[in-house]
Copies of this chain bind each other. A is one copy, B any other.
Amino acid sequence: MTEKGLLLVLSGPSGVGKGTVKSAIVDGKVFPFEYSVSMTTRKPRPGEVDGKDYYFVSEERFQEAINQGELLEYNKYVDHFYGTPLVPVKRMLEEGKDVLLEIDVNGAKKVREKMPDGVFIFLTPPDLHTLHQRLENRGTESEDVIMGRIKQARNEILVMQDYDYAVVNDTVANAVDHIKAIVDAEHVSVKRVIDTYRKMVRED
């Protein structure tokens, strides 16, 4: 029985360590998944291969991809566009392969709109998780610092609420363990497997 693959979206505030966690998943071969090759308008660096590292395209082509709805999400960093082509992601999911996207929170929001069935993992800064201790021990830090962190925390929690899972990145190993468990659990969730079972007993 082949079920559809999972679209795993790993995101979180900038600086939380999304890239490090993703690399640990890749290097440790924690679970099998497919890469999505991004499209970009920046020039290839030496050794980079078109279609493998990125799809290197002109700005006109990129703009066309946006207009034609070919991108799951896109963003502009510095002077260049980066985006995730939709068709290969959909094809891999249909083939039963899990796809991992590591993107910023704006990108994740756009992906959620187009693919609400995805598994959205919010990587949480450890100091958000331990903020309650700092609140309890007021006096050891300036009130400005604490208030600033509370304000930022409110924003992080507002973003987090649209995700499925909140994984604290206290250590990379812990974060990776939780993500592995999430992938395993999602693969046996009834909402994902029930259609396959239903199809099976219909065919008699």
Contacts and interface: CB of A to CB of B under 8 A. Distances in A.
A160 B197 contact: yes
B204 A189 contact: no
B165 A204 contact: no
A164 B193 CA distance: 10
A115 interface: no
Contacts of A185: 165, 178, 181-182, 184-186
Contact of A194 (B157, B181, B201): B157
B122 A190 contact: yes
B189 A165 contact: yes
Dominant SS at the A interface?
A: helix
Nearest to A121: B188
A1 B161 CA distance: 18
A200 B153 contact: yes
Q: What are the nearest 8 A-B pairs in CB distance?
A: A181-B184, A185-B185, A181-B181, A182-B185, A181-B185, A132-B200, A157-B197, A153-B201
29 contacts: A1-B129, A1-B132, A128-B197, A135-B200, A147-B204, A150-B204, A153-B200, A154-B201, A157-B198, A160-B197, A161-B190, A164-B190, A165-B185, A165-B189, A165-B190, A166-B188, A166-B190, A166-B193, A166-B194, A166-B197, A168-B188, A177-B184, A178-B185, A181-B181, A181-B184, A182-B184, A182-B185, A184-B185, A185-B186
